[in-house]
A = this chain, B = another copy of it.
Amino acid sequence: MRTRAQYIERLGKMNRNLYCNGEKIDRLDERQQGAINVMGFTFDAAWDPESKDLCTATSHLTGETINRFNHIHQTPEDLHKKQDMTRYLCNKVGHCIQRCMGVDAANAIHAVSYEAQKSPRAKTAYHDNWLKWLERFQREDLVASCAQTDVKGERLKRPSEQTDPDMYVHVVEERSDGIVVRGSKVHISEASISDEILVVPNRALKKGEEAYAVCFAVPSDYEGVKQVVHFHNYRKRDYYQRGIETGYTDSYVIFDDCFIPWKRVFLCGETLHGGIAALLFALFHRHSYSGCKPAMLDCVIGLAALAAEINGIEKTPNVRRMLSELIMTGELGYAAGYTASALGKPEVYMPGVGNVPYGPGNCIPHSIYANVGRCLTGEAVFHEQEILCTIAGGMPATFPFEKDLINPETRPLLEKYLNRNPKMPIEDQIKFWLTFIDYNLSSSAGTSTYGAYHGGGSPIMEQIAITSQYDIESKKDIIRALAGMSPRKK
């Protein structure tokens, strides 16, 4: 396993293919440091005695100890640990831990490439290719991001119906030595600080959409890959230092007729499995949200409870009601993930067929529970912000700039008039409100909220997953029996 330093060192050597604000930049650019710092925690934690049990696993390929973010889950216990690791690490950095996309994509492709290889029309030994890639991924302790979200163009049209066929990443040429792909994946978190990018389809596909059924891996600085990067860093502080400096990046990952050799191709043309790849990555990723969303709720609860403490209203019935709402959302989200883990199996839901065995045996979370948890916590984010706004009052909206807080002409007046709780040092109160603003009123906060709502699939995608996979007919049968109606014709 690598250390934080080794991870950073490798980043520093990569080719320049990042564009930002009109220029090409280095991977160790100052604006990437916050994100790199967050990712660094995933390395530290694997060595830290307090967390190494949670953050490492035993490779089922090699038997070696690996970072859990590079592990293929074998059992419900693995899923429990992944959930708890995610919550633990997100609590440490106060945000997304960034490395789950890689593990979620890897687990999806592990199963999909296995099934696709069995297809008589498989174009290469997908799963064999995959296992080679995976073995190196685990051994070298690489960071992978996952590129799933296509730009999607006209949103009510399928890939094959678009005016511009490049609105979904697709194969434009098949060669003897590999394939050429074109298109752009967007909102790709951590692509600019990852070693590898795993690419999976974005949706269910049908006959005629074979070109869109493609999974592969590329180094993130690969030729033919351009990344237009967006940073999400908080406002610099000169005086009131945070406990931790974090940041996030996401990229438009553009495949500009990019050549992929066969050994890096894990699916190419099998539309059924392409759709399952889309569904499975989403499923593993929604399960990851059962770790990170409770962790974010932990932060929201902390923010709400401290704001209430500073405002001296901690014991009021209104605040109690709002705290209990926050706790409910977080712990229901956790319970959904816990149950999805406990009921996990190497099975997948096949439309019109039901649950069937799938993949070489890796453990897949229960889809309904993973989806209901993600949907609940995703839909709650704006209401959480309303609760924080209610408890905080207007103060964060007009809080003085940091330099006014230390200007000798204004400092004593501001420290006098900002003080709401004689029992807490004013410096702590100021630091609290500055952090509250980071979390709720900054431009990064805006981005985070959109990410928390749409990331891993918008609530409407979970609704579709839930209603299409739930056995609604059996619930009708209950009523048919109670009402004395004729039984269902089967």
Residues of A within 8 A of B (CB): 19-23, 91, 94, 149, 151-157, 163-164, 166-167, 184, 186-187, 226, 228, 230, 240-244, 250, 252, 254, 256, 298-299, 301-303, 305-306, 309, 311-313, 316-318, 320-321, 323-324, 327-328, 331-332, 334-336, 338-340, 342, 368-369, 372-373, 375-376, 381-383, 385-386, 389-390, 393-404, 406-407, 409-410, 413-414, 416-422, 425, 428, 431-432, 434-435, 437, 440-443, 445-447, 449-451, 453-455, 458-460, 462-464, 466-467, 470, 472, 475-486
Cα(A299)–Cα(B477), bound, Å: 9
Q: Do A302 and B476 have beta carbons less than 8 Å apart?
A: yes
Interface pairs (7), CB distance under 8 Å: A156-B312, A243-B483, A243-B484, A254-B417, A301-B472, A306-B479, A320-B467
A409–B420 Cα distance when bound, in Å, is 53
Neighbouring B residues of A440 by C-beta, 8 Å: 446
* Given A309-B476, A383-B382, A478-B298, also A403-B21 (CB < 8 A): yes
Shortest CB distance A453–B (Å): 5
Asked whether B298 lies within 8 Å of A482 as measured between CB atoms, the reply is no
Which residue of A163, A302, A428, A479 has the most chain B CB atoms within 10 A of its CB atom?
A479
Determine whether the beta carbon of B321 is less than 8 Å from that of A463. yes
Chain B residue at minimum C-beta to C-beta distance from A400:
B228
Q: Add 14 more A-B contacts to A94-B479, A242-B482 (CB < 8 A).
A: A19-B407, A21-B401, A153-B420, A155-B393, A157-B312, A166-B416, A320-B463, A320-B464, A328-B376, A331-B336, A332-B372, A332-B373, A390-B453, A397-B451
The 7 closest A-B pairs by CB, nearest first: A22-B403, A441-B446, A397-B450, A302-B479, A435-B483, A324-B463, A302-B475
Copies in the complex: 4
Given contacts A252-B417, A256-B413, contact A406 B22 (CB under 8 A): yes
With A299-B478, A472-B323 in contact, is A389–B382 under 8 Å at CB?
yes
Contact pick for A441, options B331, B396, B450, CB 8 Å: B450
- A380 CA to B125 CA, complexed, in Å: 51
B389, B417, B432, B479: which contacts A453 (Cβ < 8 A)? B389
The answer to whether A432 touches B483, judged by C-beta atoms less than 8 angstroms apart, is: yes
* Chain B: minimal CB distance from A344 (Å): 13
Q: Which residue of B lies closest to A162 (CB)?
A: B422
Partner of A19, one of B323, B410, B460: B410
Shortest CB–CB separation between residue A366 and chain B, in angstroms? 9
- In the complex, which residues of chain B have a beta carbon less than 8 angstroms from the beta carbon of A455? 394
A237 to chain B, nearest CB (A): 9
Expressed in whole angstroms, the Cα–Cα distance for A306 and B416 within the complex equals 46
Give the docked Cα–Cα distance between A471 and B181 (Å). 45
Question: A233: shortest Cβ distance to chain B, in Å?
Answer: 12
Residue from B334, B375, B395, B476 in contact with A305 in the complex, judged by beta carbons closer than 8 Å: B476
**Contact call A466/B410, Cβ cutoff below 8 A:** no
CA distance A346 to B330 in the complex (A): 25
Minimum CB–CB distance from A313 to chain B (whole Å) comes to 6
**Closest chain B residue, CB of each to CB of A425:** B486
Residue from B394, B420, B458, B467 in contact with A454 in the complex, judged by beta carbons closer than 8 Å: B394
A391 to B434, CA, bound (A): 31
User: Is there contact, CB below 8 Å, between A22 and B328?
Assistant: no
**Residues of B contacting A449 with CB < 8 Å?**
385, 389
Known: A372-B332, A441-B446. A479 touches B414 (CB 8 A): no
| A459 neighbours in B (Cβ, 8 Å) | 390
**Min C-beta distance of A161 to chain B, whole Å:** 11
- A391 shortest CB reach to chain B, Å: 11
When C-beta atoms are compared, the residue in chain B nearest to A149 turns out to be B394
